[in-house]
Amino acid sequence: MHLNIRQKVISGLVTCVLAVGFIGGFSYHYLRAIEVKQHLVQVVDDLREIILEIRRYEKNYLLYGQEEDLQQNQRYTLQALEELDQIAPDVKNLEVASQLDSFRQELLAYQELMRQLAGHLTERNQPNSRSLEEQLRSRGKTLVDLSVQLVAFERRRILEIITTLKTQLLVAMAIFLGFMGLFTLLVSSKILRPLRVIETTTRRIAQGNFKLLPVLDTRDETQRVVEAFNRMVQELEKRQDQLVQGKKMSSIGVLTAGIAHQLNNPLNNISTSCQIILEELDEGDKELLRKLLTNVEHEVYRARDIVKGLLEFSRVRDFASKAVLLEEVVKRSTRLISSQVPPGIDVVTEVPEDLILELDPQRMQEVFLNLLMNAIQAITETPGEIKISARADAARGEAVITVADTGVGIPQEELDRIFDPFFTTKEVGVGTGLGLSIVYGIIEKHHGRISVESQEGEGTRFIIRMPYNPQATLEERAAS
């Protein structure tokens, strides 16, 4: 049977209350017993004092035979019996009850002997009187011994009860602390730890990493919360993909005007070549015709590459990494953005021709386009330069890619926020604040890292560190 967290907490609290009540009940029982014992010790101690008075007047009576001593002896005897009668109801269920009953019987026997001795006072030298005196002294001594034993017995019982109570309280405290430890562990493992994981994951999601949480079969609220959280993450990832596609469509809109201009040149060349071919067709200058047709073919390929690059960039596809040459991705990106580069801004690339990385080329192209677009917008005065460079660091197993510009830079207080969704330093209508957030998410998806260095008035440099395993990427590229 699986209990949810609420049932576990309620069960734990009920168990705790029952345990406290049980321990409290036992403690009250022992304290009540100590109270009774203490009262009994006081009574027995009083009885012992009374017995000593009885013995004192007994000796005086046997020595001097005065009636006053006999009366005092009898009065103290009656007082002792009254004390026993008063304490009897309180101790009838205690172990000491039988001893008190024996004490009472001895006291009654002593009283009877005293009466008999008082009747034979005139015959004290008779053998019968001497026998009564011996019995009386023996009974008196027994009474004193019994009173002492009763006091010692009850004090011993009080100490035993106190020891038992202390042991019980220590055991109860240990059990209670153990229970509280288990309860704290339960709260920590079932409530606090999942909440911390969700908090950490929330921060991770804010940075664009949509990795799902593992769902444990706990069959309680935490499992349902994690499942709901994962559904939310999947929905957020879907929404982010929609935002990415929307941003991509926006970028395509910006690029289209420039691409139309790029297409205009090869189309003009094709048109001019076709007109010349038509004019020279009758004359039959094959060498010239071949040259013109070759030019037409070259311009067709050029236009095809421009359109192909735009179509590949706009196409929606799932994330799929493969071994590709980084230089090819950078070239396609710079070719697409070239129409947006104002005069006076140079785009320089220093990427090794043989640098192969495991990445999704379409999404990495989007990374470069976003960074290049930001760099272009950051350069407000010409001349300016945007430089894309890369190098392999095999020792650390990473490739370091930098995109640097000579723009206005980013204020230091804003550097920590530039990757946050919808945060932008641009004017209203110029930026949405999604570009760098999307870049961050794409790099994270590649298991890479991106950081930024900037100085106001000097420019900005984005540093991308991607996993690099030259042997694995070469084998994969060869297999493909």
For 227-261, what is each residue's pLDDT tens digit? 777 787 777 767 666 655 555 555 555 555 555 65
Q: What pLDDT is recorded for position 391?
A: 92
Q: How far apart are CA 325 and CA 364, in angstroms?
A: 12
Torsion of CA 124, 130, 134, 140, to 10 degrees: -10
Q: How far apart are CA 355 and CA 376, in angstroms?
A: 26
Q: What pLDDT is recorded for position 461?
A: 93
Q: What pLDDT is recorded for position 300?
A: 79
Helix (H) or strand (E) holding 183: helix 127-187
pLDDT tens digits, one per residue of 340-354: 788 899 999 999 988
Helix (H) or strand (E) holding 137: helix 127-187
Q: How many CB atoms lie within 10 A of CB 42?
A: 13
Q: What pLDDT is recorded for position 405?
A: 93
Q: What pLDDT is recorded for position 350?
A: 92
Q: What pLDDT is recorded for position 4?
A: 63
Place of tokens 């650390």: 396
Q: Say if residues 319 and 210 touch (Cβ distance below 8 Å).
A: no
CA 149 to chain centre: 63
Q: What pLDDT is recorded for position 387?
A: 94
Q: How many CB atoms lie within 10 A of CB 457?
A: 8
Q: Report mean pLDDT in 10-residue bins for the chain, 480 residues.
A: 65 76 78 78 84 89 85 90 84 80 87 82 59 85 85 82 83 82 74 73 67 69 73 72 58 56 67 76 72 76 65 61 89 82 89 89 86 88 91 89 91 78 50 64 87 89 90 64
Beta bridge partners of 324: 357
Q: What pLDDT is recorded for position 62?
A: 83
Q: How far apart are CA 438 and CA 248, in angstroms?
A: 10
Handedness of CA 243, 248, 251, 256 (dihedral sign): negative
Read off the pTM: 0.46
Beta bridge partners of 399: 392, 466
Q: What pLDDT is recorded for position 330?
A: 92
Three-class SS of residue 83? Answer: helix
What the chain holds in terms of domains, given with CATH numbers, is 5-190 (1.20.120.1730), 218-316 (1.10.287), 319-480 (3.30.565.10)
Look at phi and psi of residue 344 and say left if phi exceeds 0, alpha if psi is from -120 to 50, else beta. Answer: left
Q: What pLDDT is recorded for position 291?
A: 74
Phi, psi of 281 (to 5 degrees): -65, -40
The single-letter code of the amino acid at 124 is R
Q: Say if residues 224 and 213 touch (Cβ distance below 8 Å).
A: no
DSSP string, 7-50: HHHHHHHHHHHHHHHHHHHHHHHHHHHHHHHHHHHHHHHHHHHH
Angle separating helix axes 221-280 and 286-314, nearest 10 degrees: 160
The single-letter code of the amino acid at 297 is E
Q: What pLDDT is recorded for position 430?
A: 43
Q: How far apart are CA 419 and CA 438, in angstroms?
A: 8
Q: What pLDDT is recorded for position 5?
A: 63
Q: Say if residues 462 and 443 touch (Cβ distance below 8 Å).
A: no
Q: What pLDDT is recorded for position 252?
A: 55
Listed in sequence order, the DSSP H helices in 188-285 are: 193-206, 221-280
Beta bridge partners of 455: 459
Q: How far apart are CA 368 and CA 335, in angstroms?
A: 11
Q: How far apart are CA 39 and CA 26, in angstroms?
A: 20
